[in-house]
Structure 1
Amino acid sequence: MKNKIIFVVSLLFGLLFIVFGLNKFLNFMPPPPEMPEHLMKVMGAFMTIGWLMPLVGIAEVVGGILFIIPKTRAFAAVMVFPVMVGIMLTNTVTDTSGLPIALVFFVINLWVLYENRSKYAPMFTE
């Protein structure tokens, strides 16, 4: 039962990352019209750095695909962790409207990292 729950949660997590990663290239979800001015400035700065958004989009799409596959989930959790940290910082410092869903997905990522902690042990041994 636990494996089924992990798979369903990982599937939803992965699909979310795939959709939002693809949106960085295809722009099929317009930004909300009531976006605060300071957040618009931050997003404008991100767009000014020409390589940043495509890099994040690629990391999100690839990480989302790998997150769905049980064999690569541990790697994907590490791969998308920096993106999740950025999402959490944006939603805590700049605009808190998306904080509840960001917190849920951050906890999911931490849960998958914790569940796969034995796979990371060789990185920390001599």
Structure 2
Amino acid sequence: MKILKFIACLLFGLMFINSGLNKLFQYLPTPELSEELTKVTEAFGTIKWLMPLVAIIEIVGGVLFIIPKTRALGAIVIFPIMVGVILQHIYFAPETIHIALILLLINLWIIIDNRKKYLPMLEN
């Protein structure tokens, strides 16, 4: 189980690192987007600091997620991005939501697995 968790976390982290680096350096070809999604992407592009911020969060969160000692923090850092990914798929690409759901399940698995580390934040 420990090896499975490490492999899942490694792949999860690398996917987010790659996604963040691609937002910054745009080295992967952009897939064909629907007209509606193109408008949304262009709207986000008008906020000049938004995509670099998301990219940095993805990179930092991905690195934290890979390292066992910082994995609990990485899971929390990535979670808001993961919510956005799920919503994006629900509204604009439901045919590929299975990939996003797998990533969400890995993220939730690590959050639940580390729940004791989060309890001090909830205490008075």
Does the alignment reach a TM-score above 0.5?
Answer: yes
Tell me if 1:9 matches 2:14: no
**Per-residue Cα deviation, 1:90-125 (whole angstroms, up to 9, x for no partner):** 000122133110010011000000000000011111
Does the Cα contact within 8 Å between 1:63 and 1:79 map onto a contact in 2?
yes
Counterpart in 1 of 2:118? 120
Counterpart Cα distance in 2 of 1:118 and 1:38? 42
Task: State the TM-score, normalizing by the size of structure 1.
Answer: 0.95
| TM-aligned CA deviation for residue 46 of structure 1 | 0.9
Tell me if 1:54 matches 2:40: no
Percent of aligned pairs with the same amino acid: 50
Q: What 5-or-longer segments of structure 1 have no aligned partner?
A: none
Q: What 5-or-longer segments of structure 2 have no aligned partner?
A: none
Task: State the TM-score, normalizing by the size of structure 2.
Answer: 0.97
Counterpart in 2 of 1:25? 24
> 4+ residue runs of structure 1 moved beyond 4 angstroms?
none
Counterpart in 2 of 1:83? 81
Does the Cα contact within 8 Å between 1:92 and 1:99 map onto a contact in 2?
yes
| TM-aligned CA deviation for residue 48 of structure 1 | 0.8
Counterpart in 2 of 1:111? 109
Does the Cα contact within 8 Å between 1:20 and 1:57 map onto a contact in 2?
yes
Counterpart Cα distance in 1 of 2:114 and 2:53? 25
Residue type of the partner of 1:62? Answer: V
C-alpha RMSD over aligned residues: 0.8
Aligned length: 124
